[in-house]
């Protein structure tokens, strides 16, 4: 029998109010409080807290507080990742972020989703992973929806809502997002 956490991480319907998941979210909130309130700027202490919150980072991860996430351990970052102020990462499932990725202010990444059926939605949730390739810039106040893959070298314009996959080296803007041209092409 799978635990609710195992169901969450595998994309199955799960009970978010499970005791284990609540305890893990509380742990993350306590670390976030220290990052967002006690420290509030990048220093040695803040870097240690971020490493504890988001242990799956391969290099420099810079976060401008305030920052919010559900668990932290489901966020995997490459080298040189930057989150500007007010970013929200609902990491109920794995979020893979490549190297040299920049997030503008107020960017939201949502792996969490809800069933369309009313009765099921009252009790259970589900999740889909997000993948963001190397060398991407996600403009301020953009929303990346569950299950989306953004290819390497992409620029997502400010205020975009990304509901579908974006191919490598694309400039995409709007709500819903549309690819308007290729980038880095001779």
Calculate Rg over the CA atoms of the chain. 17
Q: Is 108 a catalytic residue?
A: no
Residues 1-23: b if buried by 16+ CB within 10 A, e if exposed: eeebeebbbebebbebeeeebee
Cis preceding linkage at 176, omega within 30: yes
Spatial distance between the Cα atoms of 145 and 34, rounded to a whole number of angstroms: 28
Q: Which residues face 113 on adjacent strands?
A: 126
Spatial distance between the Cα atoms of 143 and 162, rounded to a whole number of angstroms: 6
C-alpha closest to that of 101 among 136, 75, 131? 136
Active site residues: 114
């Amino acid at each position: 029998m799978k635990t609710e956490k195992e169901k969450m991480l595998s994309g199955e319907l799960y009970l978010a109010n499970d005791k284990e998941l609540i305890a893990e979210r509380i742990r993350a909130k306590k670390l976030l409080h220290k990052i967002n309130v006690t420290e509030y700027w990048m220093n040695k202490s803040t870097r240690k807290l971020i490493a504890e919150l988001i242990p799956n980072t391969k290099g420099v991860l810079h976060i401008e507080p305030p920052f919010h996430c559900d668990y932290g351990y489901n966020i995997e970052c490459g080298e040189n990742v930057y989150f500007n102020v007010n970013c929200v990462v609902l990491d109920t499932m794995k979020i893979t972020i490549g190297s040299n990725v920049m997030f503008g202010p107020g960017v939201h990444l949502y792996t969490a989703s809800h069933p369309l059926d009313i009765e099921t939605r009252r009790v259970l949730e589900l999740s889909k992973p997000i993948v963001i390739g190397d060398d991407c810039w996600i403009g301020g106040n953009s929303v990346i929806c569950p299950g989306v893959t953004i290819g390497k070298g992409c620029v997502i314009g400010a205020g975009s809502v990304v509901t579908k996959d974006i191919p490598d080296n694309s400039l995409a803007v709007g709500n819903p997002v549309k690819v308007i041209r290729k980038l880095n092409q001779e």
